[in-house]
Structure 1
Amino acid sequence: MTDVRLELQQEREKVKLLQMENAQLRERITKVETESDYVSSQLKRNNIVVHGIEEAENGHETWAESEEKVKTLLKDELEIDTVEFERAHRLNTRSRPRPIIAKCVSFKDKEQVLSAAAKWKDTNTQYRIAEDFTTRVRHIRKNLSKFLRQAREQNKRCRLSYDKIVIEGKTYTYDALNDDIKPVGRPR
């Protein structure tokens, strides 16, 4: 009986060590994921995603053709003809026409385009220009959108801001565990 107790105690100690190691690894993984997401978001910092531009009939479009279509849209619809792109191409999605992702040479150009495209917000246009977000941020924004709709239905001032939602001046983040939003900051 004593041997069994001793063996049980040793096994409990092993389990405790494994639990501590597991917690440390989880913490390291979270840190690496956060750093990776930050790096990815910096790489996407100057990107815009343009929806609604018709595709070539054969479905094959060169990068130069995609870039020219975006430039034409910006000039004709937003009266912007100074934006330079590093590259532009169609995204590989099922939706048709496929969106074009374009990397602006400067962040200021991207901000100019997004600011001008905001005029389409309440219009019935086929075009939409959005920021390019990481997969994690897109997932969070998708979940936050239902809270955005609810707040708007209650006539509250609200907006999405990166991976958070601002309602009546208060900032919230998405709580995936409870499928709810929670205030950002320390509880008081």
Structure 2
Amino acid sequence: MRSRRDNLVFHGLPGSAGETWEQSEEKVREFMSETLHMGNEAETVLIARAHRINPRNSRSPVIAKFLKTSERSTVFKKAREILGRDGYQRVTEDFTQRVREDRRSLSPWFVKARDDNKRVKMRQNKLIIDGSTYMYDREKGDIVCVSGRRSDRLRSTRGSSTPYRDAVTINARGALFTSERGSSVEEREVTPSAS
């Protein structure tokens, strides 16, 4: 299994169909030098390989594998500071299809929490809001709180039909339910922002 940890995906780089790996790497270096204002430092960054995800499509993102995690982190941090998170040209982490789908499902709650001035971040397929960690449960089609403050931490139950005891879920209507082994105890409104 190949590690995706050292990869970054560069969106919005101009290119041509049938671009070689060397040409893709040069596009990445040019982007780092000019757009990310790294200058000559971009030439010293060690890139193992860089190529278009779909080589026949000149608008396909370029995926680059960095040899040093520290250099990858520097490039990613500069991209976030300069480009932000949205836009035509952007740099993202390389996630599996499943993680991308989970993140897409969690994003309305991310936006809602950010708009409510809560401390919020996303790590892989987990949403962390004010210290509580949420994940998307595909079977339920809901968001489930898998850990919170030490006193609220959830434990998995063996042989139970529900994956968590005292599970907290956010259903499609946006209501937050706290349940003890299936019985509803509390409901609070936490609807995601309309997009």
TM-score normalised by L of structure 1:
0.68
Task: Report SS of the residue matched to 2:15.
Answer: coil
Q: State the structure with more CA Rg.
A: 1
User: Greater relative contact order: 1 or 2 (C-alpha under 8 angstroms, separation 6 or more)?
Assistant: 1
Alpha-carbon displacement from aligned partner over 1:138-174 (angstroms, at most 9, x marks no partner) = 1211211122123234333322111100112221111
Pick aligned residue for 1:49 from 1, 4, 9: 9
Alpha-carbon displacement from aligned partner over 1:3-55 (angstroms, at most 9, x marks no partner) = xxxxxxxxxxxxxxxxxxxxxxxxxxxxxxxxxxxx45xx1111100001012
The aligned residue for residue 135 of structure 2 is: 173
Whole-Å separation in 2 of the counterparts to 1:123 and 1:143: 17
1:177 Cα deviation from its structure 2 partner: 2.5
- 1:83 partnered with 2:41: no
Q: Which amino acid aligns with 1:114?
A: F
- 1:67 partnered with 2:29: no
**Preserved contact between residue 18 and residue 55 of structure 2 (Cα < 8 Å):** no
Whole-Å separation in 2 of the counterparts to 1:169 and 1:72: 39
1:116 Cα deviation from its structure 2 partner: 0.9
Task: Report SS of the residue matched to 2:35.
Answer: helix
Q: Percent identity?
A: 37
Task: Report SS of the residue matched to 2:109.
Answer: helix
Moved more, 170-179 or 83-92: 170-179
More helix as a share of residues:
1
**Structure 1 unpaired stretches of 5+:** 1-38
More strand as a share of residues:
2
Change in CA separation of 1:173 and 1:93 when aligned onto 2, cut-off 3 Å: farther
Alpha-carbon displacement from aligned partner over 1:112-154 (angstroms, at most 9, x marks no partner) = 1111111135488531111101222112112111221232343
Moved more, 169-178 or 147-156: 147-156
CA-based RMSD? 2.4
| Number of aligned residue pairs | 146
**Preserved contact between residue 120 and residue 128 of structure 1 (Cα < 8 Å):** no
Change in CA separation of 1:122 and 1:89 when aligned onto 2, cut-off 3 Å: closer
Change in CA separation of 1:121 and 1:174 when aligned onto 2, cut-off 3 Å: farther
Change in CA separation of 1:167 and 1:117 when aligned onto 2, cut-off 3 Å: same
**Structure 2 unpaired stretches of 5+:** 148-153, 155-164, 167-195
Whole-Å separation in 2 of the counterparts to 1:144 and 1:170: 14
